Structure 1
């Protein structure tokens, strides 16, 4: 009798496991995306257009919190991962983003540096803990730096560009996403931080977000800020000025979409290839720069081979 019961229990467990496994693969059209939150509006636009052309697709973003969700198909990242991670994933470099210095529009700092602007020396003095950095003795305007608490793409990219690490950025650390830096800055009339164009500007009006002043920087590296470099009232004009690869004092990095090399979700691969083909037309609208065409093409070919084999 005991052996019969054991057999029934074992059979039931086997069936339950089988049903659980089936439920995870029963819908091959479902794709879960997660990653850097400031890219969500752009990715949502892509999802909407893709689903219009592919009604069977069920693609959704699962918001990243302190960690990534337990299960996802595609990952959006705003910095280059370590070599060990890169070797396990296939990548599409879909866009580039810039990081611009901003201040509370009511601050004395915003008023003064709207005229003076920032060169490399002043940049380092304001944003980084570095006792060896050359000092600008005229810097006496009060300010409060805000930066991210958690490891994240924007602060890693910002610090790396100037030769530092995220931990070297000074100021008040804010938990949460890049949007929370903006909220903190707007509440503090001494606030200064760095952010992407899509948060510094209103995407509809193309003008600076209310309450934010963009700080001009020495783009050509000649040690001073020209009248043209102070022209920061229009998002499209700013994007055009930082599109040039030879600019100085503006960190620029890639937004990547990636998939695990062992992920066999055909819809996820199909969406990745669609993004590689169709994403370019939306980038400027959302405040991004186009990726290098050759880099994008090379990565697209890798995804095509990956999709064909798996």
Structure 2
């Protein structure tokens, strides 16, 4: 009887041990399958990324990607979006560029500054003078009425287009005139709407309505000293994208959007490979430009993906 009782107890203990081990293995496997790859991205590129995620899910339903919106999820993001091609890679990470975007100088319709600027045209030199401080003696002796009556609102932080905009003009963000606004660049629109003297700049998807393809009702683009055809291109998002992809418009910075992530993560590589091969077809819909052939040829060797091979 004692032997039988011992056998029963031993069998139960052994069964529980196996059950715990199996549960542990199952949980680890289940965790691996259900891992969410969070993407830390500025708002202007989020709609396009969300579209990529939706379409990719159709062919790889087991892989979960999502935009990081909470502070917690941003802190544990597997992918960080770069909005400039000046990213310096380290030993563990790589950056693959997958799209381009344009930055335009903007003003609020009906504002006091809007009335002052009117139909004035600005070339690159005048725009630089308008947005940045200067030690130019000639400028200090000849007061600029437009500059004296405007307040520049610029963004800050790594998710703002302020750095690439300033870099285009050979300046640093510390040289912007006016006020720096914390948070996402979408708040620059609000700032100039609330200040009758405000001017700013922003990425194209923050300026145009993605549905109507027109400039948002409360905004206008500061007139540039460009050809008539290029000036007409600003009338709609699609015309502007076409113009920017076939020619250079002086005064408009064009920057790249990239994914920075762990070099050894094959699942992210597959996602990025799919974007380079197929996802670019959605860029225009969400106000971004496609990479050109030369850019794609430069980026594809960075990615180990079956989708790249298929092309």
Distance in 1 separating the partners of 2:177 and 2:73: 26
Q: Quick one: structure 1 residues 151 and 256, their matched pair in 2 at CA, closer, same or farther if it must change by over 3 Å?
A: closer
Corresponding residue number in structure 1 for 2:8: none
Q: Residue 252 of structure 2: SS of its match in structure 1?
A: coil
Q: CA deviation at 1:25?
A: 5.2
Unaligned runs of 5+ in 2: 1-20
Q: Residue 176 of structure 1: SS of its match in structure 2?
A: coil
- The answer to whether 1:80 aligns with 2:82 is no
1:11-160 correspondence runs (5 A): 22=28, 26-27=32-33, 30-63=36-69, 69-83=74-88, 85-86=89-90, 88-132=92-136, 135=139, 137=142, 139-141=144-146, 142-160=149-167
TM-score by length of structure 2 reads 0.80
Distance in 2 separating the partners of 1:78 and 1:140: 34
| Conserved 8 A contact 2:93-2:260 | yes
| Conserved 8 A contact 1:103-1:110 | yes
**Structure with the largest fraction of helix:** 2
1:1-310 correspondence runs (5 A): 22=28, 26-27=32-33, 30-63=36-69, 69-83=74-88, 85-86=89-90, 88-132=92-136, 135=139, 137=142, 139-141=144-146, 142-219=149-226, 226-231=227-232, 232-262=234-264, 264=265, 266-304=266-304
Q: Residue 26 of structure 1: SS of its match in structure 2?
A: helix
How many residue pairs match? The answer is: 283
Q: CA deviation at 1:163?
A: 0.5
Distance in 2 separating the partners of 1:87 and 1:133: 47
TM-score by length of structure 1 reads 0.80
Q: Quick one: structure 1 residues 24 and 185, their matched pair in 2 at CA, closer, same or farther if it must change by over 3 Å?
A: farther
Distance in 1 separating the partners of 2:199 and 2:107: 4
Cα deviations across residues 212-245 of structure 1 (Å, max 9, x unaligned)? 01112134xxxxxx44444322111222232245
CA RMSD of aligned residues (A): 3.1
Cα deviations across residues 54-84 of structure 1 (Å, max 9, x unaligned)? 222221111376x98332222211013453x
Cα deviations across residues 85-129 of structure 1 (Å, max 9, x unaligned)? 355422321111111010010124334435222112211111001
Q: CA deviation at 1:139?
A: 3.6
Unaligned runs of 5+ in 1: 1-14, 220-225
Distance in 1 separating the partners of 2:30 and 2:279: 29
Q: Quick one: structure 1 residues 86 and 160, their matched pair in 2 at CA, closer, same or farther if it must change by over 3 Å?
A: farther
